[in-house]
C-alpha cells in the first residue's frame, strides 16, 4: 500500500573491487564491518586475507581529492567522450573532472606536492610550514580536502 524503500545492503553483502583480487569483503572482525554505507566508494586497507573468500581489514574510507593527491602512482589527464578524466594507477581508477581547468589544477597541485615532498626528503630540516612555497601548497590542499 506504500512505496518501496531502498534498503542498505547487509554487512555480508557489501563488497569492493581490487585490481589484483576482484571482489573483496570487509572482514567480520573489522570495525567497519557493520558500516552499511560509505560516502565515498573508495577504501584504503592495511591487510588482505583469504579464508572462505578474500577479506580486507583495517580499512578506512577515502574521498576523491585525498586519493588523487596522496595516492601512489602517476596522475594522468585525458579527454574521453567530451569529459576530462583524471586517472590513477594506469587508468584503473578514474574520476571525471568538472572542467578542463579543474583537472589541470588538480594535476598541477599533485605535481607540486610530489616536488615538495622530494625537497623535504633531500633536506629533512626544512620546515614546510615556514617556507612560503610549502605553506601555500599545504594550505591549498587542506582547503581543498576540508571543503570538498
Write the pLDDT tens digit of every residue in 34-52: 888 888 889 999 999 999 9
Q: Which residues pair with 96 in a beta bridge?
A: 85
Q: pTM score, two decimals?
A: 0.76
* Bridge partners of residue 79, in order along the sequence: 84
71 and 57, same structural domain? no
Same domain, 52 and 89: no
The mean pLDDT value for 99-116 works out to 91
Query: What is the C-alpha to C-alpha distance for residues 86 and 4, in angstroms, rounded to an integer?
Result: 37
Statement to judge: residues 46 and 91 lie in one domain: no
Q: Residue for cell digits 585525498? A: 66
> pLDDT tens-digit profile of 122-132?
999 999 989 99
pLDDT at residue number 1: 47
Judge whether residue 118 has pLDDT over 80: yes
Residue 6 inside a domain? The answer is no
- Verify that 47 and 71 share a domain, yes or no: no
- For residues 111 and 24, give the distance between their C-alpha atoms in angstroms, rounded to a whole number: 32
Are residues 40 and 78 part of one domain?
no
User: Do residue 44 and residue 78 come from a single domain?
Assistant: no
- Flag whether pLDDT at 2 surpasses 60: no
Asked if the structure places residue 4 within a domain, the reply is no
Distances (CA, A) of 77 to 63, 98, 117, 134, 145: 19, 13, 22, 24, 20
Q: Do both 48 and 70 map to the same domain?
A: no
Task: Give pLDDT, residue 72.
Answer: 76
Residue 82 lies in a domain: yes
Question: Quick one: how far is CA 42 from the chain centroid?
Answer: 6
Helices (H), 19-99: 64-70
- Asked whether residue 141 falls in the same domain as residue 113, the answer is yes
Is 125 part of a structural domain of the chain?
Answer: yes
Task: Name the nearest CA neighbour of 36 among 44, 24, 46, 26.
Answer: 26
- Residue 124 domain boundaries: 65-146
> How far, in Å, are 44, 77, 88, 115 from residue 94 at the CA level?
16, 9, 6, 23
Amino acid at each position: 500500500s506504500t512505496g518501496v524503500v531502498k534498503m542498505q545492503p547487509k554487512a555480508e553483502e557489501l563488497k569492493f573491487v581490487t585490481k589484483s583480487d576482484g571482489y573483496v569483503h570487509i572482514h567480520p572482525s573489522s570495525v567497519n564491518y557493520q558500516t552499511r554505507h560509505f560516502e565515498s566508494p573508495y577504501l584504503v586497507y592495511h591487510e588482505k586475507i583469504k579464508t572462505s573468500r578474500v577479506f580486507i581489514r583495517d580499512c578506512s574510507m577515502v574521498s576523491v581529492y585525498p586519493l588523487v593527491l596522496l595516492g601512489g602512482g602517476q596522475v594522468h589527464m585525458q579527454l574521453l567522450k567530451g569529459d576530462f578524466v583524471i586517472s590513477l594507477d594506469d587508468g584503473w581508477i578514474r574520476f571525471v573532472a568538472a572542467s578542463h581547468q579543474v583537472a589541470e589544477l588538480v594535476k598541477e597541485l599533485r605535481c607540486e606536492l610530489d616536488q615538495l615532498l622530494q625537497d623535504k626528503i633531500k633536506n629533512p630540516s626544512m620546515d614546510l610550514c615556514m617556507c612560503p612555497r610549502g605553506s601555500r601548497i599545504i594550505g591549498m590542499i587542506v582547503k581543498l580536502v576540508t571543503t570538498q
